[in-house]
Structure 1
Amino acid sequence: MQQPHPLEAENRALRRQLEALLREARANEEKMRRFEALEHRLIGARSLHELLQLLMDEYRRAFGLDACSLALVDREQELARLLEAELREGMHLRGLRLLPSAAPLQALFGGDERPRLGPFDAARHGPLLGTGLASVALLPLVRRGQLIGSLHFGSSDPERYTADAGTQLLERLGGIVGVCLESALNQERLKLAGLTDMLTGVHNRRYLEHRCLIEIAQARRYRHPLACLFLDLDGFKAINDGHGHGAGDIVLRMVGQAIQGQLRAGDTIARWGGEEFVALLPQAGGPQAREIAERIRAHVAARPIEAGPARIPVTISIGLALLDPEPAGREPAQQAERLLAAADAALYRAKHQGRNRVVSESA
């Protein structure tokens, strides 16, 4: 039997190598196509929440990852506040961790701003990605020379992320994510500025009206109670006339902070206008809502406000109303109007009964 010529065997080996290289090139081309598609979606994200979902859910699905998580430095709890309402509405962000400082990430990367690839270490990587993994990729997120977070990928394939693998694509992704996060945060800050009362720092009437519709829809869907407080400073005109408008502004600001400090984490406070505030208390029935209202009233009355050399005693009157548990087909906007009107009517009664008191009325 004639033996194949050595050159034929060499050619077959070369063809196999070429086919393997072509398969790898096609796979890399497909990976780059998916990466660029996701990149465009990241850049076009309309909110911080959408951006975070794309990072932790869409990227994991698009690239067949077994785990994906994100850690962000949140020293002033700004991110927690920006995401609070959406998280309360059930828009969970699985895999997101907010850190009070960059220290854990600095320990993770050791000052190196390049992605870390290698075998899974349960002690170091388990808290970030869970268990059952074989290899990981850790991407530091850096903006303006500051470590702002890290993105973590995990795979059950030990060959997926190896220490000698190229990191150019991951470095590019880390840079894009850092820019997108900064842009999304700035957008959220602008939105929040339009929904915040500049004098007191609490939400404004526009936000309250929007939030009221959401809380009513939630209350109807899950059949839980919703209370509304209408709060008004007693004798505020006399404070302005006797101490000046600057002192009046200080009083409004301090009272707004005092009200906010007595509310629960899921409650909403807004300045309605002038010296009036409104609070929404989801999942608070009559007794609990009245207890919260009385706590606010007593707290304000017990602490005179220092405005320059003056110590100004302040009291507030509060009207309390509960959402009708049987809306009888009313739209949320109609229910919101009736709820606020009922709380306002209760406030009117509190004023006429002597002020510095809480009065309830059914909505």
Structure 2
Amino acid sequence: MTAIPIESRRLAPPMLALVGNPNCGKTALFNLLTGSHQKVANYAGVTVERKEGWLRTPAGTRLAVLDLPGTYSLAPNSPDEQVTCDVLAGRLPGERRPDLVLAVVDATQLARQLRLVLGLKRLGLPLVVVLNMADLARARGVDIDVEALAHALGVPVVSTVAVRGGGADALFGLLDAALPPVPPAESAGSMVDDHRQVKHILATLGLDRLPAHAFTDRADRVLLHPLAGPLLLFALLFLIFQAVFAWAEAPMGWIEAATALLGDAVGRILPDGLLRSLLTDGLIAGLGGVLVFLPQIVILFFFILLLEESGYLPRAAFLLDRLMGGVGLSGRAFIPLLSSFACAIPGIMATRTIQNPRDRWVTIMIAPLMTCSARLPVYALLIGAFIPARRVAGGLEL
């Protein structure tokens, strides 16, 4: 492992790391804290995305802000979770250990996310718990006593609404006080029974009997039902594909018409020759042949984003796990293969969420075989070239 020189760590601004479960609002908080002062790259040697920015506290301290990949625990089961754990432990080459950790918690899912907070506390790093989506929790009847939770955890707790301007004002006031002068060593304390301690904290706050997940539980009874769940899933997939081809038909026609008009205009201006052929038949026609599929890709990814933000995609993967397991695939392969109907490249990129390396490689190999719109004209050309137009038994044609 490449060590970071002590001089570099002294000169670099303190690093603030955002950690939390997927879909807890962590990225929204990162955008709110850093604004336009952010950059995106990949961690060295892996395809996991790295988001870093900076902010200045009310006291004038400049902080580097690192948005770590979402994780459910500190026992990694995927490349994303492994990167998060390695950064927090200071094991990732070329990446220094954070000086302060913000544990971003979905206030509507507090009972499920406290275990990660307790694991982060054992690391010995300065920790601040950020209760995000506090407005949604109150709307569902879950009123969390922030001071009591901070006392039970033994760390500062602040409530935020990351999607609103000014939603992190209370957090800014805590940052200077939470930053230590020297990064502490990792705690050597023994492991505790996290489950028992989650239960104790919820009982202390009076949240152990509240139906915090009543809505999602009722929805899961339908969405994950052995009969109704698959029917709803396939109805949804049918709707998505109908929308992809029906809604995209008009803008695809506009692109084709605009490409033809532009080619004709350039052809009338230029004299017949190589330059005219290069621009009209090569550049304009080639670019139009690529752009014509953009409406389908945009519509498909709109639906994928909608399903992901609503929390339905993990449920779809659960429903399809047994079906796809019959052909040697994981249920998580559903998302990459669905993306591959628009384009294989984002489908292959999406396979990084598949935990098992074998399942990930199998999905990568299958993704280019999905039938996208660009392949349909090729299929039609090959069928017309090699299969004769001949009638067979029963009035069917080849």
**TM-score when normalising by structure 1:** 0.24
1 or 2, which has the higher helix percentage? 2
1 or 2, which has the higher strand percentage? 1
**TM-score when normalising by structure 2:** 0.23
